[in-house]
Amino acid sequence: MIEKINFITKTMVYQTMVTAHRKPGVSQERFKERYEQHMQMVAELCGDATPSSHTRFYPVHGADDQPVLMAGNNEPACYSVLVLMEFEHKAAFEKFCQALATEEATARIEADEAGFWDRSGMKVFEVEAHRSWGS
């Protein structure tokens, strides 16, 4: 009898997560639209230093422009988007940060964000992902 053996290769990546909040008076839909445009500009600014993956998670909002809450308390959400960025390694993340830290890039980013993003509540942190696999 021949047994079938499955091998799962674990690829190590460096991951960061960003939480961002919209400015008062900016609807969630407008924030989403502007953030998607903003990311195109950021990609142009970083060139070959873009993340290998940049996934945005936007909470679904109802007609009252509040998140559709499925569980938990009814306090306002502290973010308008959750972003998961993946890089091949930490050095790639550092290259990304350096590309966006130039005087020109910083000025363009800040000018663009001024219309929709409240940077005072933004958080960027390193994360570890743990995935569950089905059979």
CATH of the domain at 119: 3.30.70
CA distances from 86 to 28, 51, 57 (A): 25, 6, 14
Q: Is the distance from CB of 100 to CB of 42 less than 8 angstroms?
A: yes
pLDDT in tens, 36-78: 999 999 999 999 999 999 999 999 988 888 888 888 876 766 7
pLDDT of residue 11: 56
Structure tokens that stand for 128 in this block = 């570890």
* Domain presence at residue 101: yes
* Domain presence at residue 119: yes
**Total number of domains constituting the chain:** 1
State which residues form the domain around 28.
19-68+76-127
* Domain presence at residue 29: yes
* Domain presence at residue 104: yes
* Domain presence at residue 113: yes
Average pLDDT, the chain: 87
* Domain presence at residue 11: no
pLDDT in tens, 113-132: 999 999 998 999 999 877 77
Q: pTM to 2 decimals? A: 0.82
